[in-house]
Structure 1
Amino acid sequence: MNLTNRDDFQEALVKNLIIVILGIVINCINGIIVLTFCKNSVFHSDSRYILYMNLVVNDMILICVSVTLYVLTYAYPIFNASMCYTWSVIGSTTHMNTPIILAGMAIERYIAICKPLHHAQICTVRRTYIIIALTWGVGFVPAVADVIIVLATRPIGFFSSVIFCIYLNLYNTRYHAEKVKVVQALYMSFVWLTLIYTYFMVFRTARAAKGDTASAKKAQNTILLHGAQLLLCMLSYITPLLDVVLISFFPIHRSKITFLCYLITNIIPRLLTPLIYSVRDQTFAKHMSKYYSCKVIIVKVKLKRRRLKCSSKRVCSSKG
């Protein structure tokens, strides 16, 4: 996060407008995706789309928390520590969820392509929701561990104090540093190994298949996009190091560097989510255009007007 005393009013206003507008755009698109899912029962029994909705909802929560905290660092940077920790736990959980959800979605595509006869038995709706619950539980554990370390190392009165709400102020003990190393090593190695394994298995199946290879190639491209999204998300883990390196070369542009790093590592990866499924998936794209195209809205408005006119004519004729 940026330090407000580095920016003048105009620069701070432009940065906040960019972040807020992008956050609103992303959440509006994701909101339409969620509504499309809820309005069409055809998606409710498909584990692929259920997992995708989990990713979309996770991104929406993450964007809300991230953008709110970013704006607060300018508008009201110092507030209650307990409130800051609450926001931090939510943001940390959703941040950790993203790579795990991507790994789960890659595994589902692997089963669908490499084990199509067993897909319906393995990827049931019930098991999909169990996986989602486990995902949130696994993502929640590191955030709770951070708070437990704070409770063990600081007096309880600290939570009623006021602080500048940034990560370094919240978690700055050596225990937190060790925990971060262990968690990132375990989580990221699992996720990357999963993506690499599923990609090559799908790739091998696509080359060996004699029949319909279009779905296998599409799944292969989807996993590649998952990898690209994960790579962008992983940049957030090296953002502090990236800031230090770049700022050492360009100390005058410290504020601009931190802003660009935040934009690239936290906001841009969430723009890929609609691209991966909503645009590339023909079924989902068809339903989205069906319910949210401008033409449909205009037709619905005209139909409502006609109905109102017809009902008013009937009322008038009955009175006459």
Structure 2
Amino acid sequence: MPNLTEFQGNATSSKNLSIIVKVCVVIPFFCIFLYCILLMLHTFASHKQFFDSSRYILFAYMLVNDTLQLLTSVLLFLFVMGSVNFAIVFCAPLLFLSTATFQNSPLILAAMSLERYVAIFYPLHRPISWRPERIWVIILSLWLISCVLPTVDFILMRLKADVDVLSTPVLCKTAVLNSSPIQTLFKVAMNGLFFAVVAVVIFFTYIRIFLETHKMRQDRASVSKALHTVVLHGFQLLLSMMAFTFPVTESLIVLHVSWLQEHIPFINYFCFVLLPRFLSPLIYGLRDESLKAHMKRAMPCCKSQIDLHKASKTMK
């Protein structure tokens, strides 16, 4: 019995250490990139010229969506790590928001690619919906479409007989509300449709812009930059699509790496759910020279250096 007790104690301490390590990996990344996203949003809000461009408005919308996705995702992660149970009536809104924002991400990528296509091919006579003052129509449409899957998910929800929505505490995971085979089939079909449509849109815009670079003799720099942006959209879409390969990646990791089964979902979660959201500000925001210049002025450490540089120039 003492040996069994000692073994259980070691297993418990090992599990607690594993949870602490996972939390210590996720939280610093979350804080750093949340700071970057909030800094960009502050920059957008402080400079009205960004609202005169549909591209910047869509980018700001993507940042808001990624912020909500990060907040809900990390919050659910902490609840699972801490084995916090609470009623479904409080769990359901978090799961709804997390699913809707996750579905919204590829749709925003498609919209941003189409915006680049419209900017290149219709620079003077843009369609009304793609003009800065009407881009909210596109944004609202994307949000409504992204809410279809979680809404149907809740409609098809079938809970166990002993589970009460208002009082029974449960671990807040998607599996709690996704127990029906019909739900699983619908979710797979909808995810496949979402990402297939977005992939076609990005591929179409890439090919058209690529062909345009060989026709245009003037302003080829802006067309090439738009082409690179579309490629980055495709790369981020690929990262997002990896979230749906969990069963395959888990099987491959089990076959080739001698890790405990409980660690594999965390690796998938960090690499294919959090990492694509973390890369959004780096891929898009830091590539834009105008946005990067304004961000440097907003950062306290860089602001003092810029003021010092200006003062030294004035003295000269």
TM-score by structure 2 length? Answer: 0.87
Q: Is 1:158 aligned to 2:160, yes or no?
A: no
1:30 matched to which residue of 2? 37
1:252 CA drift (Å): 4.3
Match of 2:19 in 1: 12
Decide which moves more: 118-127 or 22-31: 118-127
1:21 has 2:28 as partner: yes
> Match of 2:141, as an amino acid?
L
What letter corresponds to residue 159 of structure 1 in structure 2?
Answer: V
SS in structure 2 at match of 1:159: coil
Q: Which residues in structure 2 correspond to 1:34-49 (within 5 Å)?
A: 34-49=41-56
Match of 2:105 in 1: 98
Contact 1:114 1:201 in 2 (8 A): no
User: How many angstroms does 1:157 deviate by?
Assistant: 5.6
Q: Quote the offset at 1:294 in angstroms.
A: 1.8
* Structure 2: 5+ residue stretches without partners: 1-10, 309-316
| CA pair 157-255 structure 1, distance change in 2 beyond 3 A | closer
CA distance in 1, matches of 2:302, 2:248: 49
Write the distance in 2 (CA, Å) between the matches of 1:11 and 1:240: 22
Aligned residue number for residue 80 of structure 2:
73
Q: Which runs of 5+ in 1 are unaligned?
A: 302-320
Give the corresponding residue for 2:201. 194
* Deviation (angstroms), 1:268: 1.0
Q: Secondary structure of the residue that 1:118 maps to in structure 2?
A: coil
**Aligned positions, number:** 297
* Structure-2 separation of matches of 1:137 and 1:5: 45
Q: Is residue 175 from structure 1 mapped to residue 174 from structure 2 by the alignment? A: no
State the alpha-carbon separation in 1 of the partners of residues 15 and 194 from structure 2: 39
User: In the superposition, relative to structure 1, how do residues 91 and 20 fare at CA in structure 2: closer, same or farther (>3 Å)?
Assistant: same
- Cα shift at 1:156: 10
- 1:80–1:162 CA contact under 8 A, matched in 2: yes
- Equivalent position amino acid for 2:231 in 1: L
Matched to 2:31, the amino acid is I
| In 2, Cα distance between equivalents of 1:27 and 1:266 | 15
Do the aligned residues in 2 keep the contact of 1:239 with 1:261 (CA within 8 Å)?
yes
| Contact preservation (8 Å) 1:236, 1:265 | yes
My pick for the range that moved more, 257-266 or 56-65, is: 257-266
The answer to whether the 8 Å contact 2:85/2:169 transfers is yes
Which residue pairs with 1:112 in the alignment?
A: 119
Matched, 1:243 2:250: yes
Query: Which is further off, 195-204 or 6-15?
Result: 6-15
Q: Is the 8 A contact 2:129 2:135 kept in 1?
A: no
Moved more, 122-131 or 12-21: 122-131
Residue deviations 1:76-109 (CA, integer Å, cap 9, x gap): 3322122221110010000000000000000000
Residue pair 1:278, 1:284 contacting (<8 A) in 2 also: yes
Equivalent residues of 1:73, 1:165 under 8 A apart: yes
The two structures have a TM-score, normalised by structure 1, of 0.86
The amino acid across from 2:283 in the alignment is I
Report the counterpart of residue 287 of structure 1 in structure 2. 294
Which secondary structure state, in structure 2, belongs to the residue aligned with residue 150 of structure 1?
A: coil
Shift of 1:75: 1.4
Contact 1:6/1:255 (<8 A) preserved: no
Once residues 13 and 223 of structure 2 are traced to their aligned partners in structure 1, the CA distance between those partners, rounded to angstroms, is 51
The answer on 1:219 being equivalent to 2:226 is yes
Deviations 1:30-70 (A, max 9, x none): 00000000000000121110000110000001001111111
Kindly provide the amino acid, as one letter, of the partner of residue 88 in structure 2: A
Residue 179 of structure 1 aligns with an amino acid whose one-letter code is F
Give the superposed CA RMSD: 2.3
Aligned residue identity for 2:116: R
Change (3 A) 1:102 1:295: closer
- Pair 1:112–1:254, CA change in 2 (3 A): same
Residue by residue, what CA displacement relative to the aligned partner does 1:205-228 show, whole Å, maximum 9, x if unpaired? Answer: 112110121111111111111111
SS at 2:170's partner residue? strand
Residue 264 of structure 1: aligned partner: 271
82 and 121 in structure 1: CA distance in 2 versus 1, 3 angstrom threshold: closer
Q: Percent identity?
A: 26
Q: Is the 8 A contact 2:297 2:306 kept in 1?
A: no
- The match for 2:149 among 139, 142, 158 is 142
Inter-partner Cα distance in structure 1 for 2:178 and 2:12? 23
Question: For structure 1, which segment, 114-123 or 70-79, has the greater mean C-alpha deviation from structure 2 after superposition?
Answer: 114-123
Distance in 1 separating the partners of 2:215 and 2:13 = 58
